[in-house]
């Protein structure tokens, strides 16, 4: 009887041990994080494990690079605008730029200057900040940016297409069998190269304007205009002015008399002719 009970008990112990071992192994396996699976349609919708999120859990979205033509206008007041303009030229050269134009003038003893410089685009902010630190007061400043990315992409695509067409024309020119065919291909090739040169020049100009930003600086004077000395009253000068005016009047009257003397006989002759004709008409007896 004991042997019959011992065999089922041993079987039950073995089954319980196997179940505990399976439970332990299944709970110890690491679970992948949520969202770490992606479906690959090319593999029959089999989930594959991907990398985890970026460091610190922040997803970085890099904006595409844009080609910008940046310009700035800065207006200032200074005690010596010409000196300020010279300092601005030094700033432009220090940041790897150049001077495109300089204008200096004096009006009512007040100096003013206007300066146009261009600096590398990556030094634009530093150059504008340095100009604002010059001796003087900044009145206004503005920055304008024009996006020419699409324009440059279009120019590049058109140039690529035209150069490919140029290669085809060169092949046609090499395989031409008659002089007439060669001349036709040469004319078309010349027109095509002219278009390529124009587009290449436009592309180069646009890229230069993107690479170098333009800054216009206007500097006015802070000093008030110095009033001139009051003119002293000089009776002799007034008398001379009056004599000159009287002489001008006499000269005008004399000129008028000369003109009348020279041309007065013309109306007198007309009046005399009319008078004679009237007297002759009166003497004719009525019929």
Q: What's the confidence (pLDDT) of residue 93? A: 92
Q: What's the confidence (pLDDT) of residue 276? A: 79
259: its two tokens = 């003109």
Asked whether the predicted pLDDT for residue 244 surpasses 60, the reply is yes
Q: Please report which confidence band the pLDDT of residue 36 belongs to, taking 50, 70 and 90 as the band edges.
A: very low
Residue 175 CB contacts under 8 Å (≥ 6 apart), including other chains: none
* Count of residues in the chain: 287
Q: What's the confidence (pLDDT) of residue 129? A: 93
Asked whether the predicted pLDDT for residue 167 surpasses 70, the reply is yes
Per the CB < 8 A criterion, the answer to whether 92 and 99 are in contact is yes
Asked whether the predicted pLDDT for residue 107 surpasses 50, the reply is yes
Q: What's the confidence (pLDDT) of residue 156? A: 93
Alpha carbon distance 261, 255 (integer Å): 10
Sign of the C-alpha dihedral computed for residues 74, 75, 79 and 85 taken in this order: positive
- Third-level CATH fold of 68-145: Alpha-Beta Plaits (3.30.70)
Q: Look up the pTM and report it.
A: 0.52
Alpha carbon distance 167, 183 (integer Å): 17
Burial class, 5, CB count within 10 angstroms (exposed 0-12 / middle 13-18 / buried 19+): exposed
Asked whether the predicted pLDDT for residue 280 surpasses 90, the reply is no
Which of the pair, 284 or 139, is modelled with greater confidence? 139
Q: Which of 81, 103, 94 is nearest to 130 (CA)?
A: 94
Q: Please report which confidence band the pLDDT of residue 212 belongs to, taking 50, 70 and 90 as the band edges.
A: very high
Determine the average pLDDT of the residues in 89-118.
91
Q: What is the mean pLDDT of the chain?
A: 76
Per the CB < 8 A criterion, the answer to whether 243 and 158 are in contact is no
Residue 36 CB contacts under 8 Å (≥ 6 apart), including other chains: 49, 50, 52
Alpha carbon distance 110, 96 (integer Å): 32
Conformational region of residue 57, where left means phi above 0, alpha means psi within -120 to 50, and beta covers everything else: left
Q: Which of 31-45, 95-109, 111-125, 266-280 has the lowest mean pLDDT?
A: 31-45
What are the domain boundaries of the chain?
A: 68-145, 149-210
Determine the average pLDDT of the residues in 207-226.
86
Determine the average pLDDT of the residues in 260-270.
75
């Amino acid at each position: 009887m004991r042997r019959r009970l011992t065999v089922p008990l041993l079987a039950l112990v073995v089954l319980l041990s196997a179940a505990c071992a399976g439970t332990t192994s299944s709970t110890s396996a690491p679970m992948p994080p949520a969202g770490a699976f992606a479906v690959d349609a090319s593999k029959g919708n089999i989930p594959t494990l991907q990398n985890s999120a970026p460091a610190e859990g922040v997803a970085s979205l890099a904006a595409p690079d844009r080609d910008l033509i940046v310009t700035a206008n800065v207006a200032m007041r200074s005690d010596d605008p010409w000196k300020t303009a010279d300092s601005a030229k030094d700033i432009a050269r220090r940041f790897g730029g150049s001077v495109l134009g300089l204008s200096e003038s004096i009006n009512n003893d007040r100096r003013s200057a206007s300066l146009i410089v261009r600096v590398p685009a990556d030094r634009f902010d530093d150059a504008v900040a340095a100009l604002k630190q010059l001796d003087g007061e900044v009145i206004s400043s503005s920055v304008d940016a024009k996006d020419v990315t699409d324009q440059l992409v279009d120019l590049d695509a058109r140039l690529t297409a035209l150069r490919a067409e140029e290669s085809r024309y060169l092949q046609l020119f090499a395989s031409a069998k008659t002089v007439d065919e060669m001349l036709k291909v040469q004319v078309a090739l010349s027109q095509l190269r002219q278009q390529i040169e124009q587009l290449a020049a436009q592309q180069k100009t646009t890229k230069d304007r993107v690479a170098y930003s333009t800054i216009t600086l206007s500097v006015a004077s802070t000093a008030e205009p110095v009033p001139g000395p009051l003119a002293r009253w000089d009776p002799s000068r007034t008398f001379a002015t009056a004599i000159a005016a009287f002489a001008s009047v006499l000269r005008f009257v004399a000129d008028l008399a000369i003109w009348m003397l020279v041309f007065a006989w013309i109306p007198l002759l007309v009046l005399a002719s009319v008078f004679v004709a009237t007297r002759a008409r009166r003497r004719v007896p009525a019929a």
